[in-house]
Amino acid sequence: MGTIITEPALSQAVGVFDDRNDAGLVTAALILRHFDEETLKNAAVVAIPAGGVPVGLMLARRLNVPFDLIFIRKLHFPDNPEAGFGAVTEHGALMINEALAARLSRQTLERVIALEREALAERIQTLRRHVPPLSLTGRTAIIADDGLASGFTMLAAIEEARRRGAERVIVAVPTASEQAARRVAAAADAVVVPNLRGGPWFAVAEAYRHWRDLTLDEVAAMLDAWQQEHGEKTSS
């Protein structure tokens, strides 16, 4: 089981980050305190779009490592798009919470999976042209998102990073529920989470003073800025 690294002064509290950029800065500082240069020299940040992108870009800048995307799509409940019961990866692997999925009929389950796979394909088509894929073979993959609620999306991301050849996986998220952090730590080498929260109710958004969903166009603009900043040509 991987280590869970947190910041006690920020844990068990809400509204601790201004926005995702601020959260990325705080998370990067925690990584730099706990991991040496040797560990990070062959690392790469891979972010889960959409909310993980600004966090991941800030991590990549502060850690001075390459940046890439990792495409995972949450499987959402039809009547509650904020909640999920699993995730699907770019290459089709499914990670499902069987207890939660049991609330759905088989027909509904299959329909949701098909719809989310279509949405994931659209996201890949829209965003991949802005950042060419990076080889993770032999690297430490630092997987970034804006938070962990259940952790199943991140479990799928860990599986995908290892499939892509990552030698070590560090999960870097500004906020997480204690249950999700433990679940993810069982599959990762380490989980870095400044704002760890317990209790019966958890929402990622509560860690942020300013929170909103990001559009794919906004994310694409962020990725273009990263490419221009690093002198890499962006495909049209």
Question: Tens of pLDDT along 102-116?
Answer: 777 788 878 888 888
The H or E element spanning position 23 is helix 20-34
pLDDT at residue 38 is higher than 50: yes
Half-sphere exposure of 145 (CA within 13 A, CB side): 28
Q: CATH classification of 3-70+134-227, choosing from 3.40.50.720, 3.10.20.600, 3.60.15.10, 3.40.50.2020? A: 3.40.50.2020
CA 138 to chain centre: 20
Residue for token digits 């394909």?
121
Average pLDDT on 8-27 reads 97
pLDDT in tens, 139-191: 999 999 999 988 989 999 999 999 999 999 999 999 999 999 999 999 999 99
- Sheet containing 168-172: give its strands across: 3-6, 190-193, 168-172, 140-144, 43-47, 67-69
Write out the two tokens for 231.
């002198």
- C-alpha closest to that of 195 among 212, 209, 215: 209
CA distances from 191 to 130, 145, 180, 184 (A): 28, 12, 10, 7
Cross-strand bridge partners of residue 79:
none
d(CA 10, CA 25) in angstroms, rounded, equals: 14
Q: Is the pLDDT reported for residue 235 higher than 60?
A: no
* SS3 at position 84: strand
In this prediction, residue 236 has a pLDDT band, given cuts at 50, 70 and 90, of very low
- On average, the pLDDT of the chain sits at 90
Spans of all domains in the chain: 3-70+134-227
Give the per-residue pLDDT at 82: 65
Q: What is the pTM of this model?
A: 0.90
pLDDT at 132: 87
